[in-house]
Chains A and B, each alone.
Chain A
Amino acid sequence: MAVKTVIEAIREGMDEEMARDPSVFLIGEDVGNRGGVFLASDGLFKKYGELRVIDSPLAESCIVGVAIGAAVNGMRPIAEIQFADFIAPAMNQIVEEAARFCYRTAGDFNLPMVIRAPWGGGVHGALYHSQSIEATFAHIPGLKVVAPGTPADAKGLLKAAIRDPDPVLYLEHKRTYRLVKGEVPDGDWVVPIGKADVKREGKDLSLIAYGLMLTYCLEVATKLAATGISAEVLDLRTIKPIDQAAIVATARKTGKVLVVHEDNRFAGIAAEVMAIIMENAFDALDAPVMRLTGPDVPAMPFNHVLEEAFMPNVEKILVKAKELAAY
């Protein structure tokens, strides 16, 4: 077991799957010689050649549409959207096509494909390099959406996504790429899609998060422990299909739940988590389920004051968690 960064884990995950299965290939903008703008595919072009690491034209609908066709014809494409913010031109191909292939053919066609998209804020990326897109896509039946927050989960979920028979939107948080380090098990490490993970056990309250917010919540739990509050941290890891059982279990265990995400508040993932708890664990609650989210503004501004005002952070989560604990 070695300590790695998230970006290293992603690169290793792709490399291992490409080595294991000749049908796996990568297509996206700058993924070739450049190795990707974040170096996620650094070295893969040299290792696997131009037929398996393809620099696409600057056209997102083409990237996803071509990936769909390749998946139809026996390949397992990884389509990289350079920033989640630029996925909109591919929306038609993802929502109307990729997500519908299996359903509209009553199972005759399926699409084993992964769409990787760096997402999230806190990197001075402004409106168009900071967005969260998970709620938008989680609303689409036929898609799976994963958002790992640790190197081990990043690698394991990527390998699971590549092997999955259905289209998976794989969200990798830009801020975590080199910020978050952790041990990644050796060997063929695969993390199943659809399973949340208790990253820290606790008994007084539950913090539910994913992506960068997981790291912040773990830090908050440490600070809470110093004040005598025992916080459990549940990492969703997979947004869709969401792990209902794990959500209900932690809600029943602590009776107090705070959901944290940086995506917009309205109809966000927190709203779904809260609904699941209301439907399945209402009788176990000792406080209203709370949420701390990004605001309902179009996207994250460039100016640092505005960016900090947008992003949930350790201090904001700590305040909200204490409010919940005191309820």
Chain B
Amino acid sequence: MATKTQEIEAKGGQSRHRGLGLSDDQALRIYEVMRLARAIDERMWLINRQGRAPFVISCQGQEGAQVGTAAALRPGYDWVAPYYRDAGVILWFGMTARDQMLSFFARREDPNSGGRQMPGHFGSRRLHIVTGGSPVATQLPHAAGVALASKQRKEDAVTAVYFGEGSASQGDTHEAMNFAGIHKLALVFVCENNGYAISVPQSQQMAIQNVADRAAGYGFPGVVVDGNDVLACYEVSRQAVERARHGEGPTLIEAKTYRFTAHSSDDDDKRYRRAEEVAIWRQKDPIQRYAKYLRDAGTLTDPLEAEITDRVNQQVDEATEYAEQAPDPTPDDLTKFVYKEELQA
């Protein structure tokens, strides 16, 4: 099989989204989910710094890569196995601001884990979001298994699995890509390369420039895309999803992006990267960039922007208020659900 790594250039033009088959409403929906992901995250940091919640881990800066790729999938039919930054992915798949805040405050009602996991450990069987833990890259073989099941039942569901460039160093990444290549699974690998695994830069993570180059070793295509260009991410994802859905096998998408925040609320990124570097990347903010495009295209007007801002703020306010007041688990909850059968008892 011929493999290639290609750069997708950001194309100009005022109707780029229409050329990709996106209606104005769909293009705006993508924008709103990016805004919501960012707004929830910003609120979490605020609350964390006020000492009202112990931990936050961020999506900021990566919303374009997340929502752009997820938007090519069919929520609830296709599957995603996200990693801990993928707020944009899981919101696109149907999670709500309230769900995220319940998880942030570790409440009993948290649909991801009932308050058991740290924030960012997403999961919902109903929404087809595979639960994730903290060890990295374990979700890649899971995603291969999900895709294998679809193939075994001759269903055309596509699975997308998300991970960082640090996770690309794990053996599970190799094992999953190898397996997916052998069985030509309907699987899209999305590497959100933000340049750092906590503090370790890409140059200490691998000797190559592009994670996507590794796809050649597994017999399927690798594609590098500007992760801060949401429409470019949508375009490559749509191609990968179509390939997958038609039985042509996996694709590895590498979205080059950047995280604006420290690794987590417990990290100090000034110890390993310069403020100037962060400032340069903030100029490439995927949300600002997309907003400008939508305005230039005449799709996003001032009244529409105001409406979206209101809706986003309202959701975040409501979610925060609801979740902060929501009850904690009880000590009795500690020993529940070690096994499924307890549900039936």
> Chain A: residues with CB nearer than 8 A to chain B?
25, 51-52, 56-57, 59, 61-62, 64-75, 77, 89, 92-93, 96-97, 100-110, 141-142, 144, 165-166
Contacts and interface: CB of A to CB of B under 8 A. Distances in A.
B131 A108 contact: yes
Nearest to A108: B125
Most buried by A among B113, B125, B179, B336: B179
Interface in B100-156: 110-114, 116-117, 121, 123-126, 130-131, 133, 135, 138, 140-153
Nearest to A77: B145
A57 B138 contact: no
A79 to B, nearest CB: 10
A100 to B, nearest CB: 6
B304 interface: no
B113 A105 contact: yes
B344 to A, nearest CB: 8
A50 to B, nearest CB: 10
Interface stretch (B39-47, B170-178, B276-284): B170-178
B145 A109 contact: no
Interface of B: 79, 81, 110-114, 116-117, 121, 123-126, 130-131, 133, 135, 138, 140-153, 171-172, 175-176, 178-179, 182, 333, 336-343
A74 B149 contact: yes
A159 B338 CA distance: 22
B94 to A, nearest CB: 14
Contact of B144 (A66, A100, A165): A66
Contact of B140 (A65, A71, A72, A109): A65
Nearest to A111: B340
A92 B126 CA distance: 26
Nearest to A164: B341
B121 A104 contact: yes
Contact of A165 (B112, B117, B125, B340): B340
B142 A68 contact: yes
B175 A57 contact: yes
Contact of A107 (B171, B175, B337): B337
7 contacts: A65-B176, A66-B176, A70-B146, A72-B146, A106-B333, A107-B337, A165-B340
Contacts of A51: 151-152
A62 B178 contact: yes
A104 B113 CA distance: 5
Contacts of B144: 62, 65-66, 69
B116 A61 contact: no
A70 B149 contact: yes
A142 B176 CA distance: 24
Given A61-B141, A69-B141, A73-B145, 20 more contacts: A59-B179, A61-B175, A62-B176, A62-B178, A65-B140, A66-B176, A66-B179, A68-B142, A69-B130, A69-B142, A70-B148, A73-B149, A105-B112, A105-B113, A105-B131, A105-B337, A106-B116, A107-B342, A108-B111, A109-B123
B152 A25 contact: yes
B241 to A, nearest CB: 17
A62 B147 CA distance: 13
Contact of B340 (A61, A66, A166): A166
Given A69-B147, A72-B130, A107 B152 contact: no
Contacts of B121: 104
B112 to A, nearest CB: 7
Given A74-B149, A75-B149, A110-B340, A104 B116 contact: yes
Contacts of B81: 69
Contacts of A108: 111, 123-126, 131
A106 B172 CA distance: 26
Nearest to B177: A62
A26 to B, nearest CB: 12
Nearest to A69: B145
Contact of B138 (A96, A106, A142): A96
Contacts of B135: 92, 96-97
Nearest to A75: B149
A97 B142 CA distance: 10
B175 to A, nearest CB: 4
The 8 closest A-B pairs by CB, nearest first: A69-B145, A65-B141, A106-B114, A110-B340, A73-B149, A62-B175, A69-B142, A165-B340
Contact of B341 (A59, A100, A166): A166
Most buried by B among A51, A69, A96, A109: A69
A69 B131 contact: no
A278 to B, nearest CB: 23
